[in-house]
A and B are shown apart, each in its own frame.
Chain A
Amino acid sequence: MVHLSNEEKAAVTSLWGKVNVEETGGEALGRLLVVYPWTQRFFEHFGDLSSPSAIMGNPKVKAHGAKVLASFSEGLNHLDNLKGTFAKLSELHCDKLHVDPENFRLLGNVIVIVLAHHHGHDLTPTVQAAFQKVVAGVAHALGHKYH
């Protein structure tokens, strides 16, 4: 469970309302694959990941990033029960996808960087701190069912 004050919840909701979830998702996943290239290990079937521009322009990267962020977005509606909300996804990532939970922390931070990039004025230190709690909470929830 993530402990956000009412002000923090309001700040997160307000900034998220300005976010183009589809585009931001593609951008975040793309940047993850560029900056931490070992994360490409999960996406060998995505086609051309041979350069930063190939990655950022890759339609499968964009689509998958959009899907991931849509799921994250749904989590923002259930900050009081992230573990429950992401329980099934956690099992999937462990049992079928075999994703090291460290990757959730990496992606969470990349999402924050993309928010800073597009909404620099809105991502004040206090708002960032609230988002850091959210991404940490989501990462923790996604790792919770691992065994």
Chain B
Amino acid sequence: MSLSNEDKACLRSVWKEIGPSWPEHCPDAIYRMFLSFPSTKTYFPNFDISPGSPQIQAHGRKVADALNKAVEHIDDMPAALSDLSDKHSQELRVDPVNFKLLKHTMLVTMAANYPEILTPEVLLSLDKLMEAVSRVLISRYR
């Protein structure tokens, strides 16, 4: 399940096109997650969850920045995402099942906004990327 050299090459190339505008679209992925998987809202009890909510915008950008960092440091994600990993294990403690839900809505959002880029091969690499990031984030859970 780990990223092969082909995955990394694909992701570096694809991220040149997706990365710069991803912070604009990522909030949509968060919003889609709240709508499609209502249990995910339990982690954001104080959020305004209406479309275009400033909190969703801000959070979406935060998640996009983390994904950017992951691709930038694709050969050493555990080190690059170490602080985020600590935060998820000590403070946020999001149940691991939810990472797959956000992964799905991120992929849906990418497919909708970058249809020419989201070939089956690219979808495979992006899916693996997000699984790799999720593994890092939950790596210190117990």
Question: Are the chains A and B members of one assembly?
Answer: yes
The chain A residues found within 8 Å of chain B, CB to CB, are 30-31, 34-35, 52, 55-56, 109, 112-114, 116-118, 120-121, 123, 125-126, 128-129, 132
Instruction: State whether A35 and B127 are in contact (beta carbons under 8 Å apart), knowing that A117-B118, A123-B112 are contacts in the complex.
Output: yes
Q: CB distance A116 to B111 under 8 Å?
A: yes
Residue B92 at the A interface, CB < 8 A?
Answer: no
Any A CB within 8 A of the CB of B22: no
Check: B9 CB closer than 8 A to any chain A CB.
no
Binding site for A on B (CB under 8 A): 28, 31-32, 35-37, 51, 104-105, 107-109, 111-113, 115, 118-121, 123-124, 127
Complex-state Cα separation, A118 to B28, whole angstroms: 18
Chain B contact residues, majority secondary structure? helix
A interface, by DSSP: helix, strand, loop or mixed? helix
> What residues of chain A lie closer than 8 Å to B37, measured between beta carbons?
132
B127/A120 in contact, CB under 8 A:
no
Inter-subunit contact A132/B36 (CB<8 Å): yes
Q: How far is the CB of B122 from chain A (nearest CB, A)?
A: 10
In the bound complex, how far is the Cα of B42 from the Cα of A43, in angstroms? 40
Q: Which of B31, B36, B107, B113 contacts A113 (CB 8 A)?
A: B107
A56 to B, closest residue via Cβ: B120
With A55-B120, A123-B112, A125-B28 given, can you name 6 additional A-B contacts, CB distance below 8 Å?
Answer: A31-B120, A120-B111, A125-B31, A126-B35, A129-B32, A132-B37
